[in-house]
Amino acid sequence: MLSPKDLLLALVVVIAWGVNFVVIKVGLHDMPPMLLGALRFTLAAFPAVFFVRRPQLPLRWLLAYGLTISFGQFAFLFSAMYVGMPAGLASLVLQAQAFFTLGLASVFLHERFRVQNVVGLLAAAAGLALIGLQGGHSMTTAGFVLTLCAAASWALGNIVTKRLGNVDLVGLVVWASLIPPLPFFALSYAFEGPQRIAKVRISANVTADFGNVTDSAGLGVARCRL
């Protein structure tokens, strides 16, 4: 039986997971997906890499993790939500990673299917299908396919993580975050264009130039330095 502490931690994870998709959707209102991904992982890596020890594993495995569960998953997910995938449905469809993981594990790790695993996955699939049918009218085909690609990338990352064995997960996440920014910035430059990037930067600068001043009566007055 789970202790109150374990239940509280599980609740925190659930809340953080749900809020994450809302934040992504809000972020995509102001900037294109590849640029958002580049900034996300840049901030995830810095300044944490200066305080978290690099995990003891070969560079190729760090690259494999960073290019699958980090870059691949979020490149597809951000693109899916940018082209119309609702935040709530994205969080559900992304759970298809469980099905991809089961199949990939049987291929690469030679793990056998267990009856209880299959029954659980079928029940989960039925639940996802039911929820998807209820909200399918607000889901674009492109968004759905891209979200499945994100789920497949997540599943590949799960296989990589399994192959790593016992590793410092905090260090793995932080140091693997150094990998996605470069391909994200490259894709942003190639497909979103330098003008779009500059527009986002100018918009951010203008927003930062807004300050709050207090008048003699103590009331906050917004001003903009242009």
Does any domain span residue 178? yes
The one-letter amino acid code at 62 reads: L
Does any domain span residue 180? yes
Domain total of the chain: 1
Q: Which domain holds residue 132?
A: 12-192
Does any domain span residue 213? no
Residue-wise pLDDT for 4-59, tens only, equals: 888 899 899 889 988 999 999 999 998 999 999 999 999 999 999 999 999 999 99
What crossing angle do the helices spanning 169-176 and 33-45 adopt, rounded to 10°? 130
Average pLDDT of the residues in 94-113 = 88
Residue-wise pLDDT for 146-171, tens only, equals: 999 999 999 999 999 999 989 999 99
Give the Cα-Cα-Cα angle 62, 63, 65 (nearest 5 degrees).
65
Q: pLDDT value at position 139?
A: 81
> Model pTM?
0.84
Does any domain span residue 221? no
Q: Other C-beta atoms within 10 Å of 17: how many?
A: 11
